[in-house]
Copies of this chain bind each other. A is one copy, B any other.
Amino acid sequence: MANPSLLILPGDGIGPEVMAEVRRVIDWFGANKNLTFDVSEDLVGGVAYDKHGTPLTDETMARAQKVDAVLLGAVGGPAYDNLDFSVKPERGLLRLRKEMDLFSNLRPAQCFDALADFSSLKKEIVAGLDIMIVRELTSGVYFGEPRGIHKEGNERVGINTQRYTESEIARVARSAFELARKRSNKVCSMEKANVMESGILWRDVVQEIHDAEYPDVELSHMYADNGAMQLVRAPKQFDVIVTDNLFGDVLSDCAAMLTGSLGMLPSASLGLPMANGRPKAMYEPVHGSAPDITGQGKANPIACILSFAMALRYSFDEGAYADLLEGAVEKVLADGARTADLMGPDGGTPISTTEMGDAILAAL
């Protein structure tokens, strides 16, 4: 059988630096576990725009559709801030999500024991935190039509459309319920059904799918504003949270920051099964391109490495290897390895991106 295939899109900023460490991890699995991937690499985001005038070429898009999984670094940066909306680096990422139909975005917010002190929150409130946010990723106000800026009389009007179909809600709800069954069997769905009809439909469909197919899972509903509050007040009340594209964007960043481990958090974006049974999939760190530290060897590669662990688990059914890799990360943290983002105010000397890679490889 052919090797599983990976397309690596390092992107902008610290993307290439952290991805270099992931490549070493991939090589390690080839050399030591007989798990060899066909790896190819291509451009996305600002670097693609610089070369091709577009943040994602049709060729790259076609390649992404063919591989077993895409690993993405990060996109964007101040150099691209004044680009036209249609060619912004982010459009490359959004095109990948939309055309691969990656509707279920899994964003764990997990507090690593060794790092609980880094959280802004009191230790007892975050220690042991382990939430999974499931964010709808291919619809909602990110993609709804009509959209744009036009003139009405003598002023400009900006319009976007929040639009959800029943089946779009149903499929992401199912993925949340499935995940919950493998965790603590508890889902909280968040919307603003008190002010938005699209939120009413969201709530109703989630409830219907629950009642018909997942009555064993504990389901609750919460308004998204209260959700933001509860995440700060008592995040451990949650197990799986399911929400729409825009709320998911804001709430998952809030949840990620609670843990104090932002440079640590991976994500998986999953779609429908392909002919080989694997889901369409893209994996990327939650952090961005971090232009302020680009090229300085300061970036923390762990989020990107843990994104590859998610790939092992969700795309390649190698849960044991995912555990192995996650265990290696926990071990190096427990041993005190710290990149600059993980240094407390009273200092110590941080290790570099490559040194963190070295440590993780050594712990494998």
A interface residues (Cβ-Cβ under 8 A, vs B) = 76, 85, 88, 90, 94, 120-122, 125, 141-142, 144, 147-149, 152, 155-167, 192, 194-202, 205, 224-229, 231-234, 246-247, 249-254, 256-258, 262
State the Cβ distance, A11 to closest chain B Cβ, in Å.
14
Quick one: closest B residue to A143, CB to CB? B195
A157 with B163: in contact, given A120-B125, A229-B253 (CB under 8 Å)?
A: yes
* Cβ A228 vs Cβ B201 within 8 A: no
Quick one: closest B residue to A259, CB to CB? B232
Q: For A233, list chain B residues within 8 Å (CB).
A: 120, 257
CA distance A17 to B156 in the complex (A): 45
Q: For A202, list chain B residues within 8 Å (CB).
A: 158
* Cβ A195 vs Cβ B142 within 8 A: yes
State the Cβ distance, A107 to closest chain B Cβ, in Å.
11
State the Cβ distance, A299 to closest chain B Cβ, in Å.
17
Q: Name 27 A/B residue pairs within 8 A (Cβ), A-sorted.
A: A88-B194, A90-B194, A120-B125, A120-B234, A142-B195, A142-B196, A149-B197, A155-B165, A155-B166, A157-B201, A158-B196, A158-B197, A158-B199, A159-B163, A160-B161, A160-B197, A161-B162, A162-B162, A192-B249, A224-B249, A227-B250, A228-B228, A228-B257, A229-B262, A250-B250, A250-B251, A254-B254
Quick one: closest B residue to A234, CB to CB? B120
Q: For A76, list chain B residues within 8 Å (CB).
A: 194
* Cβ B232 vs Cβ A250 within 8 A: no
Q: For A227, list chain B residues within 8 Å (CB).
A: 250
CA distance A201 to B225 in the complex (A): 24
State the Cβ distance, A312 to closest chain B Cβ, in Å.
27
State the Cβ distance, A196 to closest chain B Cβ, in Å.
5
A85 with B225: in contact, given A76-B194, A156-B166, A161-B162 (CB under 8 Å)?
A: no
